[in-house]
């Protein structure tokens, strides 16, 4: 699959100037490249590893609205839902788009009341959120634990295979004229003007030569902060490690994405320590994916028995039948975390010509389509709605 989007790195040395260089070939970078190329811009993608070798290879592929409260991220999620289900619908089978719906469950009356209040706000913002009474929970999921109090069902929640998203969006971008360079690292920016810290960004310097461009989009995922630093600007994206456990095929045993109410609190938390909450969902192949964990440990790639044990125990409490299921593998990745829990999207006035599309944390796959579409529209001077103002990179520091 990856071979379909690879261009030999030596071709970079004679590559002409392009309108846009996209740094990163994960789902977000691929979406930016696809929509920019489709808008008629010439595009080059530069990726330090293989296609989807970063965060996009270490997650579950969630396209969620259920975990977002009213506000700018939810507005972006709803816009992204529209892009996935309309503009990209003809390609849905390529990345195994599964509109499975999500069920959030409460173990206590206090959690149930909190879920209901949240659902009211979400409905006012445009989400389809259906309150589920205790006696109706097993109609959605027959194998749920019997002592749960209530839930909320979100039919808009969906799932994709994230590596397929990145690979196919890049293939489609190439068909529209884009060039993709893998295993090439960005080492700096080409600049024009004085003083240097405000000099225009007019391309990238890489391990295989320079690529001049009209602008550069930083979609480098967990490495986006380091890329921004090469331009002398602060974008505080940090890695947040998470694990996923995969069971043997148990077809039909879990129908939706199911998670405990506490998951939302973990997503919104800024705690650096290990946090776990049960997230359980089936796949088309019959395997069950079990999460979730979050912890800020830098890029420590160590396998954590503690994290895996915790998410397994909590998943069994949610679905007791999992106690007899065999785990066949586990994997993990690093989510690009921003301290204010909002992604960074748009032009950076501190380094004119540099744009960002990063910091989506665990929502990156779901928000990729909307992010790519909005970036392409902004690059071609089309009005963007929702506005990118809430995601502006300069919120992390004054313009020099």
H helix and E strand count, the chain: 9, 18
- How confident is the model at residue 13, as a pLDDT? 46
Calculate mean pLDDT across residues 270-298.
89
pLDDT of residue 383: 76
Could you tell me which residues are beta bridge partners of residue 397? none
Q: What is the pLDDT of residues 218-248, one digit of tens each?
A: 999 999 999 999 999 999 999 999 999 999 9
pLDDT at 272: 79
Does the structure show a pLDDT above 80 at 3?
A: no
Q: Average the pLDDT over 84-109 and give the result.
A: 96
Mean of all residue pLDDT scores within the chain: 91
Rg of the chain, C-alpha, whole Å: 21
The predicted pLDDT at position 59 comes to 86
Report whether pLDDT(399) > 70: no
pLDDT band at 195 (very low <50, low <70, confident <90, very high): low
pLDDT number for residue 175: 98
How far apart are the C-alpha atoms of 169 and 174, rounded to whole Å? 9
Per-residue model confidence (pLDDT) at position 7: 39
Does the pLDDT value for residue 10 go beyond 50?
no
**Cα 94 to Cα 91, 160, 200, distances in angstroms:** 5, 9, 39
Q: Which residues contact 34 (CB under 8 A, 6 or more apart)?
A: 169, 170, 172, 173, 176, 178, 372
Q: What percent of the chain has pLDDT over 70?
A: 93
Whether residue 1 is predicted with pLDDT greater than 60 in this model: the reply is no
Q: Please tell me the predicted confidence (pLDDT) of residue 11.
A: 45
Instruction: Tell me how far CA of residue 292 lies from CA of 267, 309, 364, in angstroms.
Output: 10, 11, 16
What would the mean pLDDT of 332-348 be, rounded to a whole number? 94
Residue spans of beta strands (DSSP E) within 112-225: 130-133, 150-154, 158-159, 179-182, 186-192, 200-206, 209-218
Q: What is the pLDDT of residue 329?
A: 95
Q: Is the pTM of this model over 0.75?
A: yes
pLDDT in tens, 106-163: 999 999 999 999 999 999 999 999 999 999 999 999 999 999 999 999 999 999 999 9
**Beta-bridge partner residues of 19:** none
Q: What is the spatial distance between Cα 149 and Cα 255, in angstroms, rounded to a whole number?
A: 19
Predicted local distance difference test score (pLDDT) of residue 8: 43
pLDDT of 384 higher than 50: yes
Name which of 227, 205, 220 is nearest 13 in CA terms.
205
Mean pLDDT, rounded, for 164-186: 97
């Amino acid at each position: 699959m990856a071979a379909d989007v690879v261009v030999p790195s030596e071709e970079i040395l004679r590559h002409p100037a392009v309108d846009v260089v996209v740094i990163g070939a994960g789902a977000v970078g691929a979406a930016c490249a696809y929509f920019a190329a489709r808008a008629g811009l010439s595009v080059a993608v530069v990726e330090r590893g293989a296609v989807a070798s970063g965060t996009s290879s270490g997650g579950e592929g969630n396209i969620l609205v259920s975990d977002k409260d009213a506000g700018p991220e939810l507005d972006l999620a709803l816009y992204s839902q529209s892009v996935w289900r309309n503009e990209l619908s003809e390609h849905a089978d390529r990345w195994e788009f599964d509109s499975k719906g999500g069920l959030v469950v409460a173990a206590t009356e206090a959690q149930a009341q909190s879920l209901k209040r949240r659902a009211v706000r979400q409905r006012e913002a445009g989400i389809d959120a259906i309150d589920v009474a205790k006696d109706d929970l097993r109609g959605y999921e027959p194998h749920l634990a019997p002592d749960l109090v209530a839930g909320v069902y979100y039919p808009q929640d969906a799932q994709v295979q994230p590596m397929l998203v990145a690979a196919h969006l890049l293939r489609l971008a190439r068909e529209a004229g884009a060039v993709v360079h893998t295993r090439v690292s960005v080492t700096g920016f080409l600049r024009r003007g004085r003083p240097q810290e405000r000099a225009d960004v007019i391309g990238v310097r890489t391990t295989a030569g320079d690529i001049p461009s009209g602008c550069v989009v930083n979609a480098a995922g967990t490495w986006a902060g380091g890329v921004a630093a090469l331009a002398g600007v602060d974008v505080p994206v940090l890695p947040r490690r998470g694990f996923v456990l995969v069971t043997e095929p148990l077809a039909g045993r879990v129908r939706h994405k199911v998670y405990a109410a506490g998951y939302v609190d973990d997503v919104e938390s800024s705690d650096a320590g290990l946090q776990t909450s049960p997230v359980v969902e089936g796949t088309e192949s019959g395997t069950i994916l079990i999460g979730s964990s979050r912890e800020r440990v830098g890029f420590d790639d160590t396998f954590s028995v503690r994290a895996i044990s915790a998410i397994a125990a909590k998943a069994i409490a949610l679905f007791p039948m999992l106690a007899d299921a065999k785990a066949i593998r586990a994997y993990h990745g690093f989510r690009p975390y921003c301290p204010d829990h909002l992604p960074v999207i748009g032009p950076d006035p501190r380094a004119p010509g540099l744009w960002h599309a990063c910091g989506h944390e665990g929502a990156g796959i779901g928000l990729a389509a909307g992010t790519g579409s909005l970036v392409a529209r902004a690059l071609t001077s089309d009005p963007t709605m929702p506005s990118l103002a809430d995601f502006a990179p300069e919120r992390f520091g004054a313009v020099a």
